[in-house]
Amino acid sequence: MLDDQFSLDGTGAAPNEPNFETYGCKVFQESPQTPDKLRPDIVIRREFDSGKLKAPDGREIEFWGFIDPDSPNPAFRQAVYPSPPIRVRQNKVVHTQLKARKGPHTIHHHGILPTTFNDGVGHVSFEAGEYTYQWKPHKPGTNLYHCHRNTVLHFEMGMVGLIIVDPEIKGRGWLTDNGPRYHAEQFWVADDMDPRWHEFSHDEGLCGEDVGLNRFEPKYFLLSGVFNNRTMTDPRAVATVPAGKTLLIRLLNASYSVLRVTLGVDAEVQAVDGSQLGEHPWNRPFTIPANEPFDLTSAQRWGLLIKPTQRGEIKARMEFRHWITGRIQDNGRGIVNTRIVVT
């Protein structure tokens, strides 16, 4: 029973009592007004849509995503995989307007610290038909946003995208207002796909049913929405930088595997999980020597700076490894190869 002094008034739970039904599988679905709403500096809209990807073996796989109806890029006004990035400046008040359309969804701005009502985690707030999330990024870096309803499934279905926070004063081209500076930028979102999961319905397994969500066996491997048979040529996967200039790679492991990455060039790790290294003596930036593997677990983000001095190509390899056995997924086929072109 609730304590007499505990009230759910003004929340999505009122007037019900919290229990497994209301805070477990059947989370409150509402479209409330944003509490303490401020005048925004930036307004972003996201709507739900679905699409299909054609895999290398010819199979069509359904995916879900957030679209950007206001984007000047027509590709982002329809379902893309992963979802369109959100890019804002540090210390700006941001409103993300969600219109779920098909079934309730949420947007969780992963790595951002908003109020609980604006955090987009259904089990501690509500799930939305429509809602305006209010948030203010206090530091520059690379984060992500994703749906937090039936989280493990909706994330896998493609309801995930990058959040890029540029520094307040200098903006794009700088990691912070005090540096370092970069001249080219590449988004690498690594993902693996179990086609069986993409046949599940919106609420599959949400109330504890054993539908097989404990078994993840990926058969397809992608980089920034590109299947691994085309990652050596597709510009979404291939990075380009002039010789003598600095390339920033914003790397997100959006897979359910441990991502083992090997770059054929020295890489300076400048940021981890949305935080700039070097703010304290105990978290200075560090260099990973060329051809030395490093691992990222699910949802980790690293900001990597490389400074090639000679024209040519630099190889990059990503291995999707099972989180328990450490073996490369799909009997050794879970590999993405791409390259950095130095002009």
Give the model confidence (pLDDT) of 59-102 as tens digits.
999 999 999 999 999 999 999 999 999 999 999 999 999 999 88
Q: Kindly state whether residues 275 and 311 are assigned to the same domain.
A: yes
Q: Does residue 198 form part of some domain?
A: yes
Q: Kindly state whether residues 151 and 65 are assigned to the same domain.
A: yes
Q: Kindly state whether residues 196 and 322 are assigned to the same domain.
A: yes
User: Structural domain tally of the chain?
Assistant: 2
pLDDT given at position 23: 64
Q: Kindly state whether residues 128 and 65 are assigned to the same domain.
A: yes
Q: Kindly state whether residues 112 and 159 are assigned to the same domain.
A: yes
Q: Kindly state whether residues 188 and 55 are assigned to the same domain.
A: no
Q: Does residue 179 form part of some domain?
A: no
Q: Which residues of the chain are modeled with pLDDT < 50?
A: 1-7, 10
Q: From CA 83, how far away is CA 65, in angstroms rounded?
A: 6
Q: Does residue 110 form part of some domain?
A: yes
Helix, coil or strand: residue 148: coil
Domain finish residue from 136, 166, 196: 166
SS in 3 state form for 111-144? CCCCCHHHCCCHHHCCEECEEEEEECCCCCEEEE
Q: Kindly state whether residues 50 and 199 are assigned to the same domain.
A: no
Neighbouring CB atoms inside 10 A of 304's CB total 21
Domain extent at residue 255: 184-205+219-342
Q: Kindly state whether residues 141 and 198 are assigned to the same domain.
A: no
Amino acid at position 225, single letter: G
Q: From CA 10, how far away is CA 13, in angstroms rounded?
A: 8
pLDDT given at position 255: 98
- In angstroms, the first-to-last Cα distance of the chain is 67
Give the tokens for residue 15.
Answer: 């007037």
Half-sphere exposure of 181 (CA within 13 A, CB side): 4
Q: Kindly state whether residues 53 and 159 are assigned to the same domain.
A: yes
Nearest to 197 by CA among 160, 161, 226, 157: 157
Q: Does residue 80 form part of some domain?
A: yes
Nearest to 256 by CA among 163, 168, 151: 151
Q: Kindly state whether residues 259 and 115 are assigned to the same domain.
A: no
Q: Does residue 115 form part of some domain?
A: yes
Predicted TM-score (pTM) of the model is 0.93
Amino acid at position 242, single letter: P
Q: From CA 328, how far away is CA 325, in angstroms rounded?
A: 9
Domain with residue 237: its CATH number is 2.60.40.420
Confirm if 286 and 269 have CB atoms less than 8 A apart. Answer: yes
Q: From CA 236, how far away is CA 304, in angstroms rounded?
A: 17
Q: Kindly state whether residues 200 and 139 are assigned to the same domain.
A: no
Q: Kindly state whether residues 147 and 260 are assigned to the same domain.
A: no
Neighbouring CB atoms inside 10 A of 127's CB total 25
